[in-house]
Amino acid sequence: MFLFFGTRQRRKALGTGWFHCPYCYEQRQYEQVETRTWFHLFWVPLFPLGSAQESVRCTVCGGQWAPAVLGSHPAA
Ligand SMILES: [Zn+2]
């Protein structure tokens, strides 16, 4: 019998908003996502591996940052 299994990443959108992108160095729109790796068997996700990872992605440059970036406000 042939078993097909492996891992896949699933992304869940948590929200969007505006933040100060450290790369663009300007106010940009971000997309906050939760990424989780799932063990799957025959393309059916069975259980998650490890904990979910949250990241904030700049919709302009595509840079990914830790959620802590949302709280940083550089001195103007
Ligand atoms: Zn950016």
The rounded Cα 61 to chain-centroid distance in angstroms is 15
Q: What is the CA(64)–ligand 1 centre distance, in A?
A: 9
The answer to the question of residue 41 being in a domain is no
Q: What is the CA(18)–ligand 1 centre distance, in A?
A: 11
27 lies in which domain range?
A: 9-35
Q: What is the CA(10)–ligand 1 centre distance, in A?
A: 23
Regarding pTM above 0.75, the answer is no
Domain count, the chain: 1
**Pairwise CA distance, residues 38 & 52, whole Å:** 10
pLDDT digits 0-9 by tens, 21-75 = 999 999 999 999 999 999 999 888 999 999 999 999 999 999 999 999 998 665 5
The answer to the question of residue 44 being in a domain is no
Q: What is the CA(14)–ligand 1 centre distance, in A?
A: 18
Residues in the chain: 76
The answer to the question of residue 14 being in a domain is yes
The answer to the question of residue 74 being in a domain is no
